[in-house]
Structure 1
Amino acid sequence: MAVYSMTGYASAASPALVSPKDEATTTAHGTPPKAGVTVELRSVNSRFLDLTFRMPDELRAVEPALRELLTAAFRRGKIELRLNAQRDADTALPAPQPEQLGRLAGVQDTVRAWLPQAQLLSVHEVLQWCRGSATGEKLDEAAIAATRRCIAGLVEARAREGERLVGILMERIVKLRELAQQAQPLVPQVVERQQQRFLERWQAALDTAGAGQSLSAEALRERALSEAAAYALRIDVAEELSRLGAHLDEIERLLKVGGEIGKRLDFLIQELHREANTLGSKSAALELTQISVEMKVLIEQMREQVQNIE
């Protein structure tokens, strides 16, 4: 299964449509009026699925159907749908039919019977009504068909972007593993150096105390080694490195499985950041501190990319 980004763009248009009823309605050039729709989908990242519709009022009736299509195709992301009606240039001057004019006249007479002060319809208003009703019944169907194609295009776009994000995350995983391998042998070296310092310090104390020293040299050596062991436990980061490796394994597994993994990846990124912080707080050498900083940079880069995954 693919990994999908929440970022993408797609567009689709329906062909010019002529409804069966419009075949009797001709324009000034003697052809039936035609109309179609164009659909655009823009998607960015969001914690949940957030849908926005921008469309003319004449197509508002199809909004529930379009919403159902989008919710079936996507789970997360802020998606904006723009739908525009396109009409043939010839429909600018439709030829009103007697049936249409008769209906308009009847409506106008009824309105004026109740509202004598109402103004008569203008030629422009009559033409607008005739053009608006010419292909209205088919626009809804065209809008749904075009939206289906646009959704398929957006799914493909989000899949391509998701594939690119997977590549970026895999690169960061490789670098984090390399840093973990560099950190692994540093702790024993630091412990060994600190143990030697303890022994030298206790030896210096023994030489200074001389004969008045109450503890034997062997007892002082054992105390020095005991403190060195306690120090080694305090700075031991083997557990943090082990958990970090386990989190990286799980992230890599999820990226290979695909699907809706964004929220799980986000949680694992938080855990990676926690382990890197602990590694930095326990660091007793400059090398470990630098490794911790580099890890945090890589993890932050991964977090930015994971926020775009569905």
Structure 2
Amino acid sequence: MPVYSMTGYASAQHSPGSAPAGQEGTRPSAGMRLGLEIRSVNSRFLDLSFRLGEELRAHEPALRELISGRIKRGKVEVRAGVEGAAADAVREPTLRVLQRLGAVQDTVRTWLPDAQALSVGEILRLASADDGGSTDWGEPLLALATQVLGDLVAAREREGGRLAKMLLSHLAQLRGLAEQARPLIPQLVEQQRQRFLERWKEAMALTEGAATPEAAQDRALTEATAFAIRIDVAEELTRLAAHLDEIERLVKKGGEIGKRLDFLIQELHREANTLGSKSAALELTRISVDMKVLIEQMREQVQNLE
């Protein structure tokens, strides 16, 4: 299953032809152009916003249902409008519409004699909102939205594929750093043990027998053991490896993995921090810093995954 980014953009336009004979008023007029674009960025949840022209606002619920069926996360903005000379032209009301408006006005003035007569502007506004007008954009709008949505999903898939490759590359680098850190701990423990034993010998020479050799040696070995426990990062490296394996499994599986990856990245950062806090050598500190740089780069990209 592919990995999808939440970042993408797609747009298209549609210019309908003239209505068939005998069906005037059921389709958009020739010369008008329907434009639609969808852009998306990362978000914790699915956040849909619409900027639709006056002729298209009635179709927002259908657009919302269509998009939510294909996209699960992201801040998605939909813009659609009608362009062209005919879009801004004043439409002449049909005789049927004028008759209906006249009948309604007569009924109102029968009961409310003081009511004012409809003005030309009010007649044009009411006529343009009438179902008998020539602004039935539902079918072409949904067809165009389906096309643009498919292009957007394809763009998100391509971007997700690039992010997946980057994540797998970073996982390999983190594994390499963990392998560099693993043999450093026994070396540090042995070095510290030798250092404590040398201090023991120096202490024995200074005391000139005032302290028993066994007690001084036990104290040196106890300090060496405490040091070994304090700097031991075997558990952190084991958990780090487990998190890396799980991230790789999720990336190769694909689907809606963004939230789970975000949690695992936090756990990776926690282990890298602990590794640095236990560092007793400059080389181990460098490894911890390099890990955190890679993990931070991964975090930025994971936040773009659906």
TM bucket (normalised to shorter chain) is 0.7 to 0.9
May I ask how many residue pairs the two structures share in their alignment? 301
Instruction: Give deviations 1:40-90, integer Å, cap 9, x for gaps.
Output: 111111111111111134323222211111111111111111121235538
2:276 alignment partner, one of 280, 283, 300: 280
Q: Is the 8 A contact 2:46 2:75 kept in 1?
A: yes
Q: Which amino acid aligns with 1:64?
A: P
Structure 2: gaps of 5 or more residues: none
User: Are residues 1:70 and 2:67 paired?
Assistant: yes
Q: Is the 8 A contact 2:45 2:72 kept in 1?
A: yes
Equivalent residues in 2 for 1:160-239, closer than 5 Å: 160-213=158-211, 215-216=212-213, 218-239=214-235
User: Are residues 1:80 and 2:66 paired?
Assistant: no
Equivalent residues in 2 for 1:1-310, closer than 5 Å: 1-19=1-19, 23-24=23-24, 33=30, 35-87=32-84, 89=86, 92=89, 94=91, 97-110=94-107, 114=112, 116=114, 118-122=116-120, 134-136=133-135, 138-213=136-211, 215-216=212-213, 218-310=214-306
Q: After the TM superposition, which of the residue ranges 199-208 and 241-250 deviates more from structure 2?
A: 241-250
| Residues 150 and 163 (structure 1), Cα distance of their counterparts in 2 relative to 1, 3 Å cut | same
Q: Over aligned residues, Cα RMSD in angstroms?
A: 2.7
Partners of 1:247 and 1:231 in 2: CA distance: 27
SS in 2 for 1:212: coil
Instruction: Give deviations 1:237-292, integer Å, cap 9, x for gaps.
Output: 11111211111111111111100000110111011011111101111111111211
Q: Is the 8 A contact 2:5 2:156 kept in 1?
A: yes
Q: Is the 8 A contact 1:39 1:146 kept in 2?
A: yes
SS in 2 for 1:42: strand
Q: Which amino acid aligns with 1:12?
A: A
SS in 1 for 2:79: strand
Q: Is the 8 A contact 2:46 2:76 kept in 1?
A: yes
Partners of 2:228 and 2:18 in 1: CA distance: 82
Q: Is the 8 A contact 2:29 2:86 kept in 1?
A: no
SS in 1 for 2:208: helix
SS in 2 for 1:211: coil
Q: TM-score, normalised by structure 2?
A: 0.87
Q: Is the 8 A contact 1:22 1:134 kept in 2?
A: no
SS in 2 for 1:9: strand
TM-superposed CA distance for 1:307, in Å, is 0.7
Partners of 1:211 and 1:95 in 2: CA distance: 117
Partners of 1:134 and 1:150 in 2: CA distance: 27
SS in 1 for 2:217: helix
TM-superposed CA distance for 1:22, in Å, is 7.0
| Residues 103 and 17 (structure 1), Cα distance of their counterparts in 2 relative to 1, 3 Å cut | farther
SS in 2 for 1:308: coil
SS in 2 for 1:192: helix
Q: After the TM superposition, which of the residue ranges 89-98 and 252-261 deviates more from structure 2?
A: 89-98
Structure 1: gaps of 5 or more residues: 26-30
Higher helix share: 1
Q: Which amino acid aligns with 2:41?
A: V
Partners of 1:168 and 1:277 in 2: CA distance: 22
Partners of 2:19 and 2:300 in 1: CA distance: 49
SS in 1 for 2:16: coil
Q: TM-score, normalised by structure 1?
A: 0.86
SS in 2 for 1:12: strand
Instruction: Give deviations 1:108-137, integer Å, cap 9, x for gaps.
Output: 544555465525533x6666666665422x
| Residues 225 and 254 (structure 1), Cα distance of their counterparts in 2 relative to 1, 3 Å cut | same
